[in-house]
Structure 1
Amino acid sequence: MDLFQMPRPEHLAQPAWDSIELALSRLRRAWEFDDLPDVVGKAKELVETVAKVTVEAAEGAVADSVDFQPIVKAAQKALGRQPGNDLSQDQNLRAMAQAAQTIAMSLAPIRNGYGTGHGRARVPDVVVEMATLSLESALMWSRWALRRLGHLLADYPNELIAAVQTGTSRTVLREKFDASALAQQPSEVQHRIGVVFGQQSAGGFGNATEVGVDPVVEGGYDEYPVDYRRGVLEGMLLTGGGFIGLTDFYASRFVSVLSSLPEREIQSVLESLRESVTGASWIDTWRGTTKVKPADVVSALQSEVARLPSECAEAFQSLCCELLATGGSAEL
């Protein structure tokens, strides 16, 4: 294996990769010419380049003047919990990654004391061990960062949302669901994904139900977080156009997802859903043919109330009353 081989992340723009390759080629040249102070200097430059490319991909433009240690920390934070079904979230591995960051950040004071980039009154005494460790630590951290950067650029949540909205096969949908690493996403992203799965499920897309709704009932909160479950409930109840789209056929499944929440969350989500449906119209037909009767949907919901904690019965009944009292129908 070439000592300087570096994986190019998928979706990385050519100018960004050119910048990394330039820093890598400079480090290689310093090593091959046995210019030990330059090895130290170029090792730090490689880490800095990879860090800036990473932060720019995650957050936008980065000033050239930003200091070394803050930019490495920012890159590490952006990469540390990236989703991906071939990335481990093992605590010991994360500790190793943190240790790699600490080593990489040590390049700054070493370079300041011994590396190129500063005019000096005397030639610094750089031993082979110092140059070798600088080189290897820079390569190690950069390889870890670039591997994770590919997952950051892949944009798994939006890929998953696009897949569930376009009738993707169950196998592919499951792969994308797993790759999204739902529990590692921000709460608002969890909620957004849940809404789309709920809408597609209530709209009759069986793969959405089998991949992202039914497993919620028995699954743990680590796998299917609370914000995702809340999103599923909202999506099952309200269409993307803001109409009430739940049918009596899905009432039992709706209550199953609702009952999977902690009691305090059940109360909270019922109050939120009641506010959301106030003044909304019902869909007139489901999938263009089946007539939707609000009274039948509410009756089906009320028949499931015994599955909820007794403390939540009043809030559940309040939602049902609001569903009956709300506005007219709209064909969907």
Structure 2
Amino acid sequence: MESVEWANDDHVVRALQAMERIIEDFDSQYTEKFWSALEQDGYKRDPETKRLVLQSPRVRLAEEGALANLTDPSVIKSHLSRIHAAVEFDPELAIGSAKELIESTAKLVLTERGVAFTKDDDLTRLTNRAAEALNLRPNQAATDGPDGGSGVKRILGGALNIAVGVAELRNAYGTGHGRDRRPSGLGSRHAHLAANAAYLWCELMLDTLADPKAPWRKEV
């Protein structure tokens, strides 16, 4: 158990398969509880191969890429784990956590770039300033190479609107606000939409922060 890398899906699956073999000889009530608990965390046994698999991909950022140069990536990992656990079973929490992932990423970028912010800064201001700190606003794009092309500029403009969209979705449906009733019509597809949108925005920001050849480094 001490050798298991719990952030590695392959390691986790192998460890759980070992646990499964251990409890096979126990009463069926224990095995039923075992599978029920695993399904709540996104794992399921393939009926044909009998192998344990993830029901949906774990949302995460590359350890050797996007998170590599962060002083402390633990807050990002915490949000990603929370989103993964909630995306199938608690869309409100997944949407709320997606917004928090974007907010934390923006603050981490500003901190790494030495740009001050306050507790009163809203998400729009934080994300705009974080993008500006990395030269990711369309009007800051380089004049040559792919970063200066119209394609990249269009993608950047769309990506920067993602944060606003996730914030609006969270305000209407996500956790973080006391409500007098649960929102109707909300499902896992909405949670996946918010999670993947937040993932795209955060990966863009953190990949750019970590890239040794990113345009913003020319100013350093």
> Given the alignment, which residue of 67, 71, 78 partners 1:22?
78
Q: Distance in 1 between matches of 2:131 and 2:61?
A: 18
- Within 5 Å, give how 1:116-155 maps onto structure 2: 116-125=175-184, 126-151=186-211, 154=212
Report the counterpart of residue 173 of structure 2 in structure 1: 114
Change (3 A) 1:27 1:144: same
Unaligned runs of 5+ in 2: 1-8, 10-56
SS of equivalent residue, structure 1 residue 109: helix
Report the counterpart of residue 57 of structure 1 in structure 2: 112
Change (3 A) 1:104 1:116: same
**Structure with higher helix content:** 1
Report the counterpart of residue 150 of structure 2 in structure 1: 91
Return the TM-score normalized by structure 2. 0.61
1:185, distance to aligned residue in structure 2 (A) = 4.0
> Is 2:109–2:130's contact at 8 Å kept on the other side of the alignment?
yes
Structure 1 vs Structure 2 CA RMSD = 2.9
- Within 5 Å, give how 1:256-295 maps onto structure 2: none
1:82, distance to aligned residue in structure 2 (A) = 8.4
Q: Distance in 2 between matches of 1:180 and 1:140?
A: 18
SS of equivalent residue, structure 2 residue 61: coil
Unaligned runs of 5+ in 1: 155-178, 190-332
1:146, distance to aligned residue in structure 2 (A) = 1.0
Q: Distance in 2 between matches of 1:180 and 1:108?
A: 27
SS of equivalent residue, structure 1 residue 106: helix
> Is 2:79–2:100's contact at 8 Å kept on the other side of the alignment?
yes
Return the TM-score normalized by structure 1. 0.42
> Is 1:104–1:141's contact at 8 Å kept on the other side of the alignment?
yes
Number of residue pairs matched by the alignment? 156
- Within 5 Å, give how 1:233-244 maps onto structure 2: none
1:121, distance to aligned residue in structure 2 (A) = 0.4
Change (3 A) 1:87 1:146: farther
Q: Max radius of gyration: which structure? A: 1
Change (3 A) 1:118 1:37: same
The answer as to 2:70 corresponding to 1:12 is yes
Q: What is the letter of the counterpart of residue 142 of structure 1?
A: C
> Is 1:9–1:149's contact at 8 Å kept on the other side of the alignment?
no
Q: What is the letter of the counterpart of residue 84 of structure 2?
A: R
1:87, distance to aligned residue in structure 2 (A) = 7.0
Change (3 A) 1:94 1:180: closer
Change (3 A) 1:55 1:82: farther
The answer as to 2:99 corresponding to 1:41 is no
Q: Distance in 1 between matches of 2:169 and 2:117?
A: 24
1:61, distance to aligned residue in structure 2 (A) = 4.4
1:75, distance to aligned residue in structure 2 (A) = 1.2
